[in-house]
Structure 1
């Protein structure tokens, strides 16, 4: 009885077969190089630096923030009427809603991401306010342009 082929061996055979069916010399070279790399796993061995998983998690989170900014921009052009809460939202302090500043304004920029080295936050600037405001602290006013 023949032992089943390992996934690596199947991949090598598949690459070699693809190379024989290709009419492109550059594709045949690429298939051959890929098969060679699979046969020499030490060529693919990589030491993963400490903290790499944390770095990847930060990049994933940063991508989510860019997705939030892109979705906001797709739905709400510059000039969209908003209610902004710089600092805190009123629901964060239900017993002291006066701690939340409420600003009725319009957006003056497209949303973007700031603080990428710290994980990033999707933000937008509004008229009559000097600093950016996190999208989590922006509400679209009903009847506004969107």
Structure 2
């Protein structure tokens, strides 16, 4: 989704779930969850790789110089890539929850 497409759909103040680091489907986050579930050692710095923020947008989306569209959210300094931001916690393409998305829009 481009910054212009985002801005046409979601005004500043939209409630979102944002992942400033990696998303839960990232192989690193999956591996950490698996290791933790199996009782293996997990470095404390890695426990919260896929930390989510239940927050609201505080800016319109914009495009960085290298082409990635981002938006600023409350509780985080800087922009978060739109591929890591979900309005109402739902995929912007199919509107399913992130966990149920199979269309690829949440990837």
Fold conserved (TM > 0.5)? yes
Q: Find the partner of 1:86 among 17, 20, 42.
A: 20
1:132 and 2:87 are equivalent in the alignment: no
Query: Counterpart of 2:94?
Result: none
Query: Counterpart of 1:76?
Result: 10
Deviation at 1:142, TM superposition (A): 5.5
Deviation at 1:96, TM superposition (A): 2.2
Secondary structure of 1:90's match? coil
1:103 and 2:37 are equivalent in the alignment: no
Q: Which runs of 5+ in 2 are unaligned?
A: 34-47, 91-107
123 and 131 in structure 1: CA distance in 2 versus 1, 3 angstrom threshold: same
Q: Which runs of 5+ in 1 are unaligned?
A: 1-66
Q: Measure the CA separation in 1 of the matches of 2:3 and 2:32.
A: 30
Deviation at 1:74, TM superposition (A): 0.4
Query: Counterpart of 2:43?
Result: none
Deviation at 1:87, TM superposition (A): 1.5
Deviation at 1:109, TM superposition (A): 0.3
Q: In angstroms, what is the RMSD of aligned CA positions?
A: 1.8
> What stretches of structure 1 move > 4 A for 4+ residues in a row?
none
Query: Which is strand-richer, 1 or 2?
Result: 2
Look at both structures and tell me which one has the larger radius of gyration over its CA atoms: 1
Deviation at 1:73, TM superposition (A): 0.4
